[in-house]
Amino acid sequence: MSGILAGILYKHKFEPARVEAERLKKWLEDKGISVFMEEIYPKEKTNGCYEDFSCPDELKWAVVLGGDGTLLAASRKVGRHGVPILGVNLGGLGFLTSITLDKLYPSIEMVLSGGLELEERLMLETRVLRDEEEICRFQTLNDVVINKGPLARIIDLDIFINEEFLTTFRSDGLIISTPTGSTGYNLAAGGPVLYPTLSDFIMTPICPFTLTNRPIILPDSETVLIMMGEKSEERVSLTFDGQVGFDLVPGDKILIYKSESKIRLFKSPDQSYFEILRTKMMWGVAAYKQNGEH
């Protein structure tokens, strides 16, 4: 196994993650495996949103220690380069970091033996055009959100699908979510849950003024164009995966479409997606308690 380069990416300013990362690094090196280790900083504010993370060419796979936010940041750093990711939950919900800490080393043994299954997840790419010049390009695993400022009124967003006008959303904002991100902000805003490996994405208005404006599921072959009114005075921001922010101005055009990159995640060896979903969403808890099950 000598010469394999494994990555360890751990949650910023979280001591349990740092301690576990050091322990894992030693365990891997004792097996003759080279290690690339780095602390992950998920949140940033930018007005020139081009991420250019360097990723070692020899990196074969990576372990992420933290929560789903840490994995989202890791997906932009190494995942979009095709590096398979094993997400280990040291955080909250853990839809993406589905491996529990007690299963970490058995799961890595399965990775090393080739016995742990991988699945691919859709990513979105967003471009922002201002005066017909590109000023931002970004890739996301979860969602892209257009949101009004805290004191702004309802915003008007003209929506085109493959250059065909669809409607004008008058709302507090708009969420464009991947299946992976469907259990996040999209779900809280009334959008549907999609199975994570589907090749579709969801457009969900946030608190629409017109109640007939409902979430729409689109195939990944479509391109969404969102235009802000030239005379709009509202403060509006664009957020990627809830972590990276970008300020929009009246007249900006936002293009959102399937990215050429896909994220590859190792599946939990002992939990199905539906078991994870049921557990995290607490579905059927009353029924289980009634039947005496826990």
Domain spans, the chain: 5-117+267-290, 124-260
- Structure pTM? 0.89
User: End-to-end alpha-carbon separation of the chain, Å?
Assistant: 41
Residues 6 or more apart whose CB falls under 8 angstroms from that of 275 comprise: none
pLDDT value of position 214: 93
pLDDT value of position 59: 92
Q: Which of 30, 33, 107 is nearest to 64 (CA)?
A: 107
**pLDDT by residue (tens digit) across 5-55?**
999 999 998 999 999 999 999 999 999 999 999 998 766 544 456 555 567
Contact 107, 99 (CB under 8 A): yes
Catalytic residue ranges: 68
Topology, domain 124-260: Tumour Suppressor Smad4 (2.60.200)
Backbone angles phi, psi at 86, to 5 degrees: -105, 110
Contact 227, 192 (CB under 8 A): no
Strands across the sheet with 44-45, in order?
44-45, 244-248, 236-240, 143-148, 173-177, 200-206, 216-219
Instruction: Output the average pLDDT for the chain.
Output: 88
pLDDT value of position 1: 43
Reading the block at residue 32, the tokens are: 């003759």
pLDDT in tens, the chain (294 residues): 456 799 999 999 899 999 999 999 999 999 999 999 999 876 654 445 655 556 777 899 999 999 888 999 999 889 989 999 999 998 666 788 888 899 999 999 999 999 999 999 999 999 999 999 999 999 999 999 999 877 667 889 999 999 999 999 999 999 999 999 999 999 999 999 999 999 999 999 999 988 888 999 999 999 999 998 776 667 799 999 999 888 999 899 999 999 999 999 999 888 888 988 888 888 876 545 555 554
Reading the block at residue 193, the tokens are: 């849950």
Contact 209, 194 (CB under 8 A): no
Report how far residue 61's alpha carbon sits from residue 286's, in angstroms, rounded to the nearest whole number.
Answer: 40
Q: What is the radius of gyration, based on Cα positions, of the chain?
A: 20
Reading the block at residue 175, the tokens are: 């969420």
Instruction: Give strand pairing partners of 204.
Output: 175
Amino acid code (one letter) for 261: S
Please name the residue that has the structure tokens 């990416």: 9
Q: Pairing relation of β-strands 5-11 and 34-40?
A: parallel
Q: How many C-beta atoms lie closer than 10 Å to residue 32's C-beta? A: 10
Reading the block at residue 95, the tokens are: 């839809």
Q: Which of 202, 251, 246, 200 is nearest to 229 (CA)?
A: 251
Topology, domain 5-117+267-290: Rossmann fold (3.40.50)
pLDDT value of position 201: 97
pLDDT value of position 276: 84
